[in-house]
Chains A and B, each alone.
Chain A
Amino acid sequence: MTIRQSNRKCLTIASNNTAVGRLCSRILSEAAENQYSEDHLFAIHLALEEALMNAAKHGNEMDPNKEVAVEYTITPEKLEISIADQGRGFDPGTLPDPRSEENLYKYGGRGVLLMRSYMDVVEFNEKGNCVYMVKYRAKKT
């Protein structure tokens, strides 16, 4: 789950909507500069919003004293990002399937499904407080 590229960017953001929005805009603009398609940008945007808001809201519980650590690289070939929060983590294997009949009318629980659907790689660390995602530019969505 380590990003090894030399042009890796590391930063931390506050656990709030404004910081998440700013970071999404920054990453999307860099992806656009690398000629990612509109479909790819939509996919990356959705996965980023879901992952960053999971970290800020569910991981850090919007605690102003907790930060979200982000590492990413964007090349013409792929976008790689890891997002870590300071929460207790969770076991993604125990997440109920939001598409099953008993969960279809639940208000939440669709974020990880969307991340997995729109990114090519989605992996969590053992503790469940860090997600690593990859989107390949050459792959059609």
Chain B
Amino acid sequence: MKERIPPVGITYSGGVTITTLTHERILEDADIRALENTILPVIEPDIKLIMDFSSVQFLTSTALGLLIRISKKVRENQGQMSLCGIQPKIMEVFKITQLDRVFDIQPDVTSGIKAMEG
């Protein structure tokens, strides 16, 4: 079976782990699984995790479920997590579902790093 390229890149800046979602759309189960299999294993104790959404133009409720799973593992590891660069249409989805109350949301990665370092 052909291996799927994970729709995410991972970089490190100081003590912060930055996961950049590279696909415009997060909707297929295979993409969700690939994201889960790539991001969950990098969550270690006291992680500072930033998820950069600036390329994401569309997502479904399945992707929201994945974000909850990731945030749960971050909390279990006494870490911090921020979502950055969320486009206005996607932000509306977070507001409708009230997940903007659950996640720390920052305008961009630089602000996210600053908030975590502060």
Q: Is B97 an interface residue (CB 8 A)?
A: yes
Cα-based distance from A6 to B41 in the complex (angstroms): 54
A contact residues, total (Cβ < 8 Å): 21
Beyond A99-B97, A105-B68, A114-B97, list 6 extra A-B contacts (CB 8 Å).
A17-B28, A21-B27, A21-B28, A39-B89, A42-B89, A106-B68
What 1/0 flags go to A30-50 for Cβ under 8 Å of B? Answer: 000000000100100110011
Main secondary structure of the interface of A (DSSP, over half): helix
CB distance from B63 to the nearest CB of A (A): 10
* Interchain Cβ contacts within 8 Å, total number: 50
Q: Is B93 an interface residue (CB 8 A)?
A: yes
B101 to A107, Cβ gap below 8 A? no
B contact residues, total (Cβ < 8 Å): 22
Main secondary structure of the interface of B (DSSP, over half): helix
A108 to B61, Cβ gap below 8 A? yes
B28 to A114, Cβ gap below 8 A? no
**B-binding residues in A (CB < 8 A):** 17, 21, 39, 42, 45-46, 49-50, 53, 98-99, 104-108, 110-111, 113-114, 117
Query: Chain A residues with Cβ under 8 A from B34's Cβ?
Result: none
A42 to B102, Cβ gap below 8 A? no
Query: Chain B residues with Cβ under 8 A from A107's Cβ?
Result: 65-66, 68-69
Cα-based distance from A50 to B62 in the complex (angstroms): 9
Cα-based distance from A53 to B62 in the complex (angstroms): 10
Cα-based distance from A104 to B28 in the complex (angstroms): 23
B97 to A98, Cβ gap below 8 A? yes
B62 to A99, Cβ gap below 8 A? no
Query: Chain A residues with Cβ under 8 A from B64's Cβ?
Result: 110
A17 to B99, Cβ gap below 8 A? no
B99 to A113, Cβ gap below 8 A? no
Q: Is B98 an interface residue (CB 8 A)?
A: yes
CB distance from B60 to the nearest CB of A (A): 5
